[in-house]
Structure 1
Amino acid sequence: MNIPIPYGRQNITEEDIEAVVSTLKSDYLTQGPRIAEFEEAFASYVGSEYAVAVSSGTAALHLCTMALNVKPGDKVITTPITFAASANCVRYCGGEVVFADIDPETYLMDINKVKQLLESSPKGTYKGIIPVDFAGRAVNLEEFRQLAEKFDLWIIEDACHAPGGYFIDSKEQKQLCGNGKFADLAIFSFHPVKHIASGEGGMITTNDKELYEKLLQLRTHGIVKDESKYKNSPEFANGTTVRSSGVETYPGWYMEMQELGYNYRLTDFQAALGNSQLKRANVGLETRRALAEKYQEAFKNKEFVKGQSGVIEGHAYHLYVIEVEDRLGLYNYLRGNKVFAQIHYIPCHLMPYYRDLGWKENDMPEAEKYYRHCISLPMYPTLQVEEQDFVIAKIKEFFDE
Structure 2
Amino acid sequence: MKITEDTFQKGSIYLAEFPFTSFKSSKIRPVVVLFEEKRFNDVAVMAISSVTERENKANAILISPEDKDFIKTGLKKESLILTHRMATIKKSRLFYRLGYLMQKYSDEIDTALLRQLEIGHQINAIQKHIPYSRQAIDEKDIASVCFALRSDWLTQGPKIKEFEELLANYCGAKFAVAVSSGTAALHAAYFAAGISSGDEIITSPITFAATANAAIYMGARPVFVDVAPDTGNIDTRKIQSAITAKTKAIVPVHFGGHPSDMEQIHSIADKNRLIVIEDACHALGAQHKIKDNDGNEKWVKVGSCTHSDMAIFSFHPVKSITTGEGGAVLTNNEDFYKKMLMFRSHGITRTDFINEPHGEWYYEMQCMGYNYRMTDIHAALGISQLNKLDSFIRVRRNIRDIYNKEFAENPYFDLPVEKDYVNSSLHLYAVKLKGKYIGQKAKIFERLKEKGLGVQVHYIPVYFHPFYRKTGYDEGICPEAELFYKRQLSIPLHHGLSETDALRLTKIVVEAFQVTPFIIKKIM
State the partner residue of 1:399.
513
Q: Deviations over 1:297-353 (max 9, x none)?
A: 222221211x22145541110000111122222211111111111110001011111
TM-superposed CA distance for 1:36, in Å, is 0.5
State the partner residue of 2:164.
39
Q: Deviations over 1:95-126 (max 9, x none)?
A: 011000000012100011112222xx4xx331
- Cα distance in 2 for partners of 1:359, 1:391 equals 39
Paired residues, number: 379
State the partner residue of 1:246.
none
3-state SS of 2:222 partner: strand
TM-superposed CA distance for 1:12, in Å, is 0.7
| Equivalent residues of 1:43, 1:51 under 8 A apart | yes
State the partner residue of 1:128.
249
Letter in 2 for 1:367: A
| Equivalent residues of 2:177, 2:330 under 8 A apart | yes
TM-superposed CA distance for 1:399, in Å, is 2.6
State the partner residue of 1:275.
383
Change (3 A) 1:255 1:217: same
3-state SS of 2:288 partner: strand
Q: Is 1:233 the equivalent of 2:342?
A: no
- Cα distance in 2 for partners of 1:319, 1:155 equals 24
- Cα distance in 2 for partners of 1:129, 1:137 equals 17
TM-superposed CA distance for 1:15, in Å, is 0.2
- Cα distance in 2 for partners of 1:192, 1:400 equals 33
Change (3 A) 1:193 1:35: same
1:19 to 123, 144, 149: 144
Q: Is 1:93 the equivalent of 2:218?
A: yes
State the partner residue of 1:247.
none
| Equivalent residues of 1:43, 1:49 under 8 A apart | yes
Letter in 2 for 1:222: G
**Structure 2 counterparts to residues 208-227 of structure 1, below 5 A:** 208-226=333-351
TM-superposed CA distance for 1:49, in Å, is 0.5
State the partner residue of 2:415.
308
Q: Larger RCO: Structure 1 or Structure 2 (Cα < 8 Å, ≥ 6 residues apart)?
A: 1
- Cα distance in 1 for partners of 2:418, 2:514 equals 25
State the partner residue of 2:118.
none
- Cα distance in 1 for partners of 2:371, 2:396 equals 34
State the partner residue of 1:237.
none
Letter in 1 for 2:186: L
- Cα distance in 2 for partners of 1:230, 1:400 equals 68
Q: Deviations over 1:160-200 (max 9, x none)?
A: 10111011124422121110211111110000011111110
| Equivalent residues of 1:101, 1:365 under 8 A apart | yes
- Cα distance in 2 for partners of 1:214, 1:330 equals 47
Q: Deviations over 1:230-269 (max 9, x none)?
A: 11136xxxxx3xxxxxxxxxx2111111111111100001
State the partner residue of 1:248.
none
**Which runs of 5 or more residues in structure 1 are unaligned?**
235-239, 241-250
RMSD: 1.3
Give the percent of matched residue pairs that are identical in Structure 1 and Structure 2: 40
Q: Is 1:322 the equivalent of 2:431?
A: yes
State the partner residue of 2:32.
none
1:366 to 480, 483, 486: 480
3-state SS of 1:10 partner: coil
Q: Deviations over 1:108-146 (max 9, x none)?
A: 00011112222xx4xx33111100111000112111111
Structure number having the greater strand percentage = 2
1:342 to 452, 456, 464: 456
State the partner residue of 1:252.
360
Letter in 1 for 2:474: K
| Equivalent residues of 1:52, 1:212 under 8 A apart | yes
Higher Cα Rg, which structure = 2
3-state SS of 1:66 partner: helix
3-state SS of 1:293 partner: helix
TM-superposed CA distance for 1:385, in Å, is 2.0
**Which runs of 5 or more residues in structure 2 are unaligned?**
1-123, 516-524
State the partner residue of 2:447.
333
Q: Deviations over 1:45-78 (max 9, x none)?
A: 1110100110000000001111111111101100
Q: Is 1:5 the equivalent of 2:113?
A: no
- Cα distance in 2 for partners of 1:58, 1:74 equals 19
Q: Deviations over 1:276-316 (max 9, x none)?
A: 000010000111111111111222221211x2214554111
State the partner residue of 2:319.
194
| Equivalent residues of 1:80, 1:100 under 8 A apart | yes
- Cα distance in 2 for partners of 1:302, 1:338 equals 21
- Cα distance in 1 for partners of 2:130, 2:368 equals 44
State the partner residue of 2:404.
296
| Equivalent residues of 2:206, 2:458 under 8 A apart | yes
Letter in 2 for 1:103: A
TM-superposed CA distance for 1:32, in Å, is 0.4
**Structure 2 counterparts to residues 101-120 of structure 1, below 5 A:** 101-118=226-243
Q: Is 1:69 the equivalent of 2:194?
A: yes
3-state SS of 2:250 partner: strand
Q: Is 1:352 the equivalent of 2:455?
A: no
In the superposition, the TM-score normalised over structure 2's length comes to: 0.71
- Cα distance in 2 for partners of 1:220, 1:275 equals 21
Change (3 A) 1:310 1:145: closer
**Structure 2 counterparts to residues 39-58 of structure 1, below 5 A:** 39-58=164-183
| Equivalent residues of 2:149, 2:377 under 8 A apart | yes
- Cα distance in 1 for partners of 2:222, 2:190 equals 12
| Equivalent residues of 2:231, 2:417 under 8 A apart | no
- Cα distance in 2 for partners of 1:378, 1:342 equals 8
| Equivalent residues of 2:315, 2:324 under 8 A apart | yes
